[in-house]
Each structure stands twice: as C-alpha cells, then as structure tokens.
Structure 1
Amino acid sequence: MAAAPRTPPSARSGPSAPPAQAEPRPGLRERKKLKTRTAIRRATYRLIAHQGYEATTVEQIAEAAEVSPSTVFRYFPTKEDIVLTDESDPVMLRELRARPPQEPPLESLRYVVTEAARLSLAHDREGTLHRTRLIAQVPALRARMRESTATTGRMLCEVLAERAGRDGVDLEVRVFAAAVLAALHEATVYWAEHDHQDDLPALLARTMTTLSQGLPPNPA
C-alpha cells in the first residue's frame, strides 16, 4: 500500500481490535515461489548497487539469481516491477478489514501502515532502504508506480466503502483513497531523500495526522 512496507503485518491486532486468527502456513509451492521472487529481487538490488539501474538488464538479473529470463518475466512483467511489486497489499487490506468497525478510517490506516513499516524494517531493512531509495531516484520507477498505485487504489476503495457502507465508486471514497496513497508515497520519498534518517513509522503517523487535521501553522 505504502511505498515502503513490504512485510505483512503480524497477526496480532492493535488496541481494541478483534482477535485475529493465525494465518495458515504457506504450502511448499508458495514457499518456493517466494524464495524465487526473493532471489530475483536481491540479485536486482546487488546489480543496481554495483552498476546502476539503467545499466542492469533482466538477462543479468536472471544470471545472478540463477534462473532464466523467462522465469524473471513470469514473476515480474517488467524490470520496474521487481522493485515495486508489493506482496503485502492483500494482507494489509485484510488487516484493515479486521480493524474495529467504529474506528475512524484514518486511525485504522495509521495502525496498519505503521505496523507494516515496523515489520518491513525489522525483517528486511536493507531491501526496504534499497527500494525506497530507487523510487526516489529513478523516473521510470515513479512512472510505473503510478500504474500500480491505481490498482492498489481500487482495492483500497473497496475496503473503505465496505467499512463506510458506501459504494466503492463514490467520488468521496475515491478522493479519500487517492489522498491517502499519495500522502504515503510522499512520506516514503521524503524519508529516502533525507537518507532514511527519520523513523519511518513516525513519518507515516505524522502523515495520517496531517491528513486528518490539515496543515498546521509553522511552529517557528
């Protein structure tokens, strides 16, 4: 959902949330797929760190990951998707559905995205840093991300509409979802542009506060 979070939130819910059921362990086939995707992504980051994004080809990535180019394309339609594809989106949306129904939408989103960011940094900090740095630096990634964000936006509209008892194509639902996703993207780019010095979950929480309260006066 956000640009940074990749690791799904844990099964433990936040304050006042209903008990969550433990997720079933993925089968052998799914674990093999995840292992291959991870190998491709790590090989991509190694090559880009050594020679840059533009100079890195899918053929080189395949060789470094010890798979065929057709396997890379089977998992990722474009080179940009290797960096941008986020397997956590469906899980994060499921977590959003599980939040207390009376909880304001922004509070539910605050919990889900900040928890996802914490877990992403805990389980794959280097991958998260690589990903966000590239999004901030590579125009092709930002262009492709606009397309993927549209897909995420449609899924988010569906969940938000369910919680609010509205139609997912309502203008208000679409505007709200678009504003949230754009704000999370800006927070992630800001984090990368400032050399990842800030605490990402805190930045995402500040982002949600800004959306809910508007732009405050300059403290100075």
Structure 2
Amino acid sequence: MFTDRGYDAVTVADVAEAAGVSAMTVYRHFPTKEDLVLIDQPARLIAERVAASSATLPVVHRVGGALVDAATALTGGYGDGDGPVASERFLLDCLRLMVATPALRARHLDSQYALQQAIADALGDGTADPDPDAAFRAQAAISACLAAMHTALTRWAEEDGRTPLPDLIARALTASFGDAVPAPGRQD
C-alpha cells in the first residue's frame, strides 16, 4: 500500500483494514507508523554477527564483515544475475520509501544511532584497551563502516538491485578502507 499510494497517503487504519485487524492490534505489534516500514531485523543480525566475530580482528574487519554477512543473509546471497529475489524487492521498496519520506529518514537516522550503539555493545571486551581513546576510535570505525553501508544502500536502490547488495557494501568498504576489510563469505 505504501509503495502504491505513498507513505503519507496510507493511514494505520488503512493498514489494519487491509490486514483484517483493528488499528489497536497493528499498534500492539508496530508502535508507530514508521515501524511498519523500518524493520529492526538487520540491526539484530548485524550485532549478532559482530558479537560472533573474533575479538582479535580490528574493529573495521569485525564490523565490515558483519555488514557484508548480514546483507548476504537478508538478500539471499550474491545473486544469480536474474534480478532481485522477493526479500530483496521488499528491502528495496522499504529503502525507497525511507529515502523519499522525511519522517522515515528521520526515524532511520535514529535507528542508525541505535545500530551504532548495538554494534559497540556487541564488540564487548574485544575493544578493551588501556588507551582512553580506544572507545572513541571504535565509535569512529563503526560510524565509517555504517556510512559506507549507507552509500552502498543508496546505490543499490538507484540500480534497482541489479548489483548484489553484499558486493556493493564490500566495494564501499574497500573504497573507504582499502583492502583493510575483506569480503567475508565470498568465495571466488
């Protein structure tokens, strides 16, 4: 409905009616209208991948690898060249809505901050360092990785998903950090 009619033209009551439930039921599962579009599954998946990574790796490796791996899991892999699969189409539609809708962009910015904090928490004791600037450096590395991912997401939407998202994220990370971040999961 949001894709067909536009985000602002669709109300929560419209969504509830289409789903055959009450508006209160929708609000129980999605506290705000923005939550109907912006899903938090990627944040949990990324944080889990960071937490599972080796604490001996540099922060950029851990975060960059988690971003590529999460994109692979969310989009069904590196693709076969036949165009986006259903989950990719859904993610592309959500991304386009986010880019086109000011309220969603603002909420996305807030979720990016929460993702940054979740990643920092997932790094855990692996970033423990007697240097008082270690946390600052970790936050800077996380922010830079997320900026590279944002650039890749924007390109992915512009290309209508023609280039696999994991490839674009890996390319954006390489453009930002050189060969410091390998493309995990990709076996050529």
TM tier, shorter chain? 0.7 to 0.9
Q: Residues 100-119 of structure 1: matches in 2 within 5 Å?
A: 100-119=54-73
Q: Which residue matches 1:99?
A: 53
Q: Which residue matches 1:136?
A: 99
Query: Alignment partner for residue 151 of structure 2, among 186, 190, 197?
Result: 186
Q: Residues 114-129 of structure 1: matches in 2 within 5 Å?
A: 114-122=68-76, 124-129=87-92
Report the CA distance shift for 1:94/1:64 in structure 2 as closer, same or farther (over 3 A).
same
Q: Which residue matches 1:53?
A: 7
Query: Alignment partner for residue 142 of structure 2, among 161, 164, 177?
Result: 177
Report the CA distance shift for 1:85/1:91 in structure 2 as closer, same or farther (over 3 A).
same
Structure 1 residue 59: Cα displacement? 0.4
Structure 1 residue 161: Cα displacement? 5.0
Q: Distance in 1 between matches of 2:23 and 2:34?
A: 15
Tell me which stretches of 4 or more aligned residues in structure 1 moved more than 6 Å: none
Q: Does 1:163 align with 2:143?
A: no
Q: Distance in 1 between matches of 2:157 and 2:116?
A: 23
Over the matched positions of the two proteins, sequence identity in percent amounts to 32
Q: Which secondary structure does the structure 2 equivalent of 1:84 belong to?
A: coil
CA RMSD of aligned residues (A): 2.4
Q: Which residue matches 2:31?
A: 77
Q: Which residue matches 2:81?
A: none
> In structure 2, what residue type is equivalent to 1:57?
T
CA contact (8 A) 2:34 2:104 kept: yes
Query: Alignment partner for residue 167 of structure 2, among 185, 190, 202?
Result: 202
Q: Distance in 2 between matches of 1:52 and 1:204?
A: 28
Report the CA distance shift for 1:63/1:174 in structure 2 as closer, same or farther (over 3 A).
same
Q: Which secondary structure does the structure 2 equivalent of 1:170 belong to?
A: helix
Structure 1 residue 158: Cα displacement? 2.0
CA contact (8 A) 2:12 2:26 kept: yes
Question: Scaled by the length of structure 1, what TM-score is found?
Answer: 0.67
Q: Distance in 2 between matches of 1:86 and 1:114?
A: 17
CA contact (8 A) 2:55 2:126 kept: yes
Deviations, residues 84-110 of structure 1 (Å, cap 9, x unaligned): 121242233122121122223222233
Report the CA distance shift for 1:175/1:199 in structure 2 as closer, same or farther (over 3 A).
same
Q: Distance in 1 between matches of 2:26 and 2:175?
A: 40
Question: Scaled by the length of structure 2, what TM-score is found?
Answer: 0.78
Deviations, residues 91-139 of structure 1 (Å, cap 9, x unaligned): 3312212112222322223332222222222272221121122122222
> In structure 1, what residue type is equivalent to 2:9?
A
CA contact (8 A) 1:97 1:163 kept: no
CA contact (8 A) 1:106 1:208 kept: no
Which moved further from structure 2: 143-152 or 154-163?
Answer: 154-163
CA contact (8 A) 1:157 1:174 kept: yes
CA contact (8 A) 2:149 2:172 kept: yes
Q: Which secondary structure does the structure 1 equivalent of 2:172 belong to?
A: helix
